[in-house]
A and B are shown apart, each in its own frame.
Chain A
Amino acid sequence: MSAAEKGQTVKERARDALGNDFLRSAVRFTTERLRLGKKLAAEEHGNWDDWRERGRQIRLHTIAHLDYYLNEFAENARANGAHVHFADTAEEAVAISLEIAKHASAKSVVKSKSMVSEELHLNQALDSIGVEAIETDLGEYIIQLANETPSHIIIPAIHKNRHQIAGLLSREAGEDLPADTAVLAGFVRTKLREKFLAADIGMTGCNFAIAETGSMVLFENEGNARMVTTVPKTQITLMGMERIIPSWSDLEVMATLLPRSATGQKLTVYMSGITGPRREQDADGPDQMHIIIIDNGRSLQLGDPEFQELLNCIRCGACLNACPVYRHIGGHAYGGTYSGPIGAVLTPALKKNVAEWDDIANASSLCGACYEACPVKIPLHDMLVYLRRRKVEAGRGNKAETLGMKGFSVVMGNAKRYRNVVRLGKLGQKLVVRNGEIRARIGPLKGWNTYRVTPELPKDSFRDRWSKVEQELYSESAPMNPEVADRLSKLMDQRKNGGHGQ
C-alpha cells in the first residue's frame, strides 16, 4: 500500500524524507550522476533537439492513430502465436494473470522490472492464490525483501544503503554477508539463477510494442528480462496500451532517446525484440506467450487536449533527475506508483481523482526543468498548472486561499482601500517587527517565516514617494530617441496580440 493511500499528505511524507540524511544524499548523488550522464550523452550524440522532436512526432502520430496501430499489433501478435488479452482496469488484468497462473499450475513467477505491475499490485494477488512472485531486477529484489515500493523509476532501491542491503540479503542467505557490492550481487546471481530455472512463469513489462510485426521490445542492463523471456515455459507480458510504435525503423529513434535519457548509455546492455513464443524446433523460449494490454486510466487522456501528450511518455526517468523537488524529497514522498514530475501528473490523470492527489500537483516549482529534460518534450510543467486549475474549478480549492484571493482582489481593486490597508499594516507591524525584520510564525506568515524572514513594510513606500518621483521624471527627462520610441511602440503592439515569447 502506498503512503498516500495510508492518508498522509505530501507535506508529511516530504518531512519524513527530509529528516533522512542518507536518503537525501543518496537521491542527490544518484540523480546528479544520471542527469550528468544524460547531458554528456546528448551532447556527444549531437542534434539532440532534432531527435527529441522526432521522438515527439512519432509518439504523437502513434497516439493519434492508436486504434489502428494497437489493433494491428494485436492481430500480428496473434499471428505470431501469442495470446492477446485486453484489460480495462487493474482488476481485470490481475484476474487474467491469475487465471493463466492457475492453468499453468504455477508455483512461482519470476518477474523483471515492470512499472505496470506496480500499478496492479500483482505480487500480493499472486501471493493470495499461493503463487510466489519473485522480482529479479537487483534493485527490485532488494526492495521486495524490504517489503517496500520503488522510489526511482530506473534505480528502484536508491534509498537503501549497502549495510541495509547486506542485512536484507543475509536474512535470505541464512548467514552473514559482508556489505560488499560484489559479494552481495554474487549471492543474488546464484540465488535467483535457481529461481529462474525452477519458475513456471516469466513476467515482464514492455518498453515498446511494434505494430507491424507484433513484436515486443525490452531494454535492460542486467539480463534478467532476457532470463524471464527465455527460461520459463509460460510468459506473460504486461503492456500499457500506449506502448506502441509503428515499426522497427521507429525503434531506432526510441533506442537513441531512451537509454541516453535514462542513464547516459548509448544503448542498454541488452535490447531484446521478442516475436511470439518459441518456434516449434527451438530449444528455448516460452511454449506459451500471453500479452495483456492494459488501459487502467490511460484512455482517459485520449481526446483531452491538455493531457493526451502524457501518453507519449517513454518512462526514462529524466524528469525525476532534473526536478529540484524530487532531488530533495525522493520518490516515496509522491505516494503513488510513479514519482517525480511525471508521477505528479500521471497519478491523478490515470485515476481522474484530482481531489485526492491535489497536493502532489503543488509539490512543484513549475520551473520547467522536467520539460527541458523530457526526450519526447511532454510539457509537464503546463500540465501541473492545468491540474491546479481543474482542482479550483471543481470547487475543491483551499478555502483559506480562496478567501485570501477574494480579499486581495477587494483591496487591490481600489486605490483608496489599498492605501488604508497599508497604513493599517504599518501600525500593526509595530507589534512584531524587530530590527527591521518580522520573524514571528503567525497567521499567514507561518509557512514563509518557518524558513525565511519577512522584511518590515517600509516607512516611506514607493507609493508615498510617487508624486515626487513623477514630477522629477517628467520635468527632467529629455524627449525619447525616435528610434527607441518606435521600437517600444511596436513591442507594445505585439504584446496586444498575445505576447508570444521567442
Chain B
Amino acid sequence: MTNPVQPDEWLKRLEARSRAKQETFMDGIAAKLGRERVRTRPKHPFRGAPDFWKEFQLPIEDRIRQFTANFEAAGGHVVRVKNRAEASTFIVDKASEMSAGSILINDEVELSTLNLASSLPDAIVRSWNEDQDENWRAVASRSDIGIVMADYAAAYTGSLVVTSSPAKGRSVSLLPTVLMAIVPVDRMVTRLGEILVRFDEAGREQLPAGIHFISGPSRSADIENDLTIGVHGPGIVFAILVDDDSDA
C-alpha cells in the first residue's frame, strides 16, 4: 500500500475532521434531548457507591482472610510471609520446583533486593526495560515467570492492582506462564472503591497508561461451559502477602 501523505499530516487532517464533527455530534444529542447544549458540569447527586457502602471497612486480618478466600476461589494461590527475605525464599523455591528457565521482573527497588539472579544461577533473570533496544514484549512472552509488585489489593473482590510506568511493564503481569505478585499487606484495602477514588483524586494527568485489576488466573468457559485456566494470560498466579515490607 502506497501512502503519499505524511503520517503527521494525515493525523492532523483527521483531527480537524473530528473536531468539526464533534460539534455537530453534541449539538445533535442536545437537540434530541430537547434542550440547549449543557456546557457546565452538571450536579451529579448519585456519584459512586451507595452511602452505606462507603462506610464499610474491615480490620486488616479480616481483609487478609477475605482476600485469600476470594483469590483462591478464583483459582489463584495465596501465601503469607513475614518479610521480604521470606518472600525471596518462597519465589526461589517455586522457581526451582517449576524448573523456570527465564524470569522477568519489573524494575522496582523492592524486587531487585530479592536478589533472585544470584539465588537462581540456572535461570535468566531480567529486569523490564533495562535495555532500551530490546523487544520487551517478546521477552515477556518467552518468560516462564513474571514478578511484579502490586500497587494495591482489594479484599472484597480478591483483586490485586498493577499500574504501568517505564519501569513497570503491562506485559510482565500478562504474557509469562506464571505470575507472582508481591502484596505488602498495608496496601490492601477492603473495597474496590477505596482504590478507584484515588484515580479520581489523582486526576487525568497523573494516571498511568495501564491500570489493571487482576483477580486470579486467566480463564474461559467458552467450550461447553468447561472451565479452562490460562487461555491467554497466566494460568498460575501467586499472591505473596508480605507483613513487613521494609528493607531491613
Contact between chains at A83 and B197 (CB < 8 Å): no
A248 to B196, CA, bound (A): 5
- A72 cross-chain contacts in B, Cβ below 8 A: 41
Contact between chains at B3 and A103 (CB < 8 Å): yes
Interface of chain B: mostly helix, strand, loop or mixed: loop
| CB < 8 Å neighbour of A79 from B140, B204, B220, B233 | B204
- A247 cross-chain contacts in B, Cβ below 8 A: 44, 47-48, 200
A283 to B191, CA, bound (A): 31
A316 near B: Cβ within 8 Å? no
| CB < 8 Å neighbour of A303 from B33, B200, B223, B233 | B33
Residue of A nearest to B7 (CB): A103
A53 to B46, CA, bound (A): 10
| CB < 8 Å neighbour of A138 from B37, B169, B220 | B220
Residue of A nearest to B221 (CB): A155
- A229 cross-chain contacts in B, Cβ below 8 A: 210
Contact between chains at B42 and A65 (CB < 8 Å): yes
A interface residues, tally (CB under 8 Å): 104
| CB < 8 Å neighbour of B217 from A213, A266, A269, A293 | A269
A457 near B: Cβ within 8 Å? no
| CB < 8 Å neighbour of A250 from B40, B45, B48, B156 | B48
Interface residues on B, range: 35 or more
B213 near A: Cβ within 8 Å? yes
B26 near A: Cβ within 8 Å? yes
A303 to B28, CA, bound (A): 11
Contact between chains at A248 and B199 (CB < 8 Å): yes
Given A139-B222, A285-B209; A269-B216 close (CB under 8 Å):
yes
- A78 cross-chain contacts in B, Cβ below 8 A: 15
Contact between chains at A269 and B231 (CB < 8 Å): no
A456 near B: Cβ within 8 Å? no
A215 near B: Cβ within 8 Å? yes
Contact between chains at A213 and B209 (CB < 8 Å): no
Residue of A nearest to B129 (CB): A283
Fill in one digit per residue for B193-237: 1 if any A CB lies within 8 Å of its CB, else 0. 100110110011001111111111111111111101011111000
A137 near B: Cβ within 8 Å? yes
Contact between chains at A299 and B231 (CB < 8 Å): no
A247 to B234, CA, bound (A): 30
| CB < 8 Å neighbour of B220 from A102, A185, A227, A253 | A185
User: Among the interface residues A162, A278, A284, A300, which one has the most CB atoms of the partner chain B within 10 A?
Assistant: A284
Contact between chains at B220 and A139 (CB < 8 Å): yes
- A302 cross-chain contacts in B, Cβ below 8 A: 29, 32-33
A103 to B15, CA, bound (A): 15
A467 to B167, CA, bound (A): 92
Stretch from B82-90, B157-165, B180-188 forming part of the interface with A: B157-165
- B169 cross-chain contacts in A, Cβ below 8 A: 282-284
A317 near B: Cβ within 8 Å? no
A99 to B164, CA, bound (A): 30
Min Cβ gap A60→B in Å is: 8
Stretch from B17-25, B57-65, B115-123, B144-152 forming part of the interface with A: B17-25
Residue of A nearest to B217 (CB): A269
Given A67-B37, A273-B211, A303-B33; A283-B46 close (CB under 8 Å):
no
Residue of A nearest to B31 (CB): A303
Contact between chains at A269 and B1 (CB < 8 Å): no
A86 to B27, CA, bound (A): 13
- B52 cross-chain contacts in A, Cβ below 8 A: 47, 50
Contact between chains at B233 and A223 (CB < 8 Å): yes
Residue of B nearest to A139 (CB): B222
A279 near B: Cβ within 8 Å? yes
B38 near A: Cβ within 8 Å? yes
Fill in one digit per residue for A274-292: 1 if any B CB lies within 8 Å of its CB, else 0. 1111110111110000000
Fill in one digit per residue for A305-321: 1 if any B CB lies within 8 Å of its CB, else 0. 00000000000000000
- B143 cross-chain contacts in A, Cβ below 8 A: none
B138 near A: Cβ within 8 Å? yes
Contact between chains at A61 and B223 (CB < 8 Å): no
A249 near B: Cβ within 8 Å? yes
Residue of A nearest to B166 (CB): A281
Which 10 interchain pairs have the tightest Cβ spacing?
A: A223-B233, A139-B222, A249-B48, A281-B166, A302-B32, A252-B193, A223-B232, A271-B213, A57-B46, A273-B211
Give 25 A-B contacts (CB < 8 Å), ordered by A residue.
Answer: A57-B45, A67-B26, A68-B37, A84-B18, A84-B22, A88-B25, A138-B223, A156-B222, A182-B228, A184-B223, A215-B207, A226-B232, A248-B197, A249-B48, A253-B48, A255-B157, A267-B159, A269-B216, A273-B211, A275-B204, A279-B165, A282-B165, A284-B140, A284-B170, A285-B164
Instruction: Report A's interface with B, CB cutoff 8 A.
Output: 26, 29-30, 33, 47, 50-51, 54, 57-58, 61, 64-68, 70-72, 74, 76, 78-80, 83-86, 88, 99, 102-103, 105, 136-139, 142, 155-157, 161-162, 165, 181-182, 184-185, 188-189, 192-193, 197, 212-215, 221-224, 226-227, 229-231, 241, 246-253, 255-256, 263, 265-279, 281-285, 293, 295, 299-300, 302-303
